Amino acid sequence: MIRQFSEKDFKSICDKLSKIDKDLRLIIKTHGHPPMWTRPATFQTLVLFILEQQVSLASAYAAFKKLKQKVGFVTPGKILKLTDEELRSCYFSRQKIVYARCLANAVQSKQLSLRKLSSATEDEIRIELKKIKGIGDWTVDVYLMHALQRTDLFPLGDIALVNSLKEVKQLPHHITKEEMLAIAESWRPYRTIASMILWHAYIQKRGIKLQG
Do 189 and 143 share a domain, yes or no? no
pTM for this prediction? 0.95
Q: For residues 120, 122, 126 and 127, what is the CA-based torsion angle, rounded to 10 degrees? A: -60
Any domain includes 61 = yes
- Terminal alpha carbon distance of the chain: 32
CATH of the domain at 83: 1.10.340.30
- If asked whether residues 181 and 140 sit together in one domain, one would say no
Domain containing 193 equals 10-37+153-206
Output the pLDDT for position 109: 97
| Exposure class string for 34-45: b at 16+ Cβ within 10 A, else e | beeebbebbbbb
Is residue 211 a part of any domain in this protein?
no
Verify that 115 and 184 share a domain, yes or no.
no
Contact 166, 20 (CB under 8 A): no
- Averages of pLDDT over runs of 10 residues in the chain (212 residues) are 95 98 98 96 97 90 96 98 98 97 98 95 97 97 98 95 97 95 98 98 88 57
> What backbone torsions phi and psi does residue 150 show, to the nearest 5 degrees?
-80, 145
Whether residue 191 contacts residue 45, with contact meaning beta carbons closer than 8 Å, is answered with no
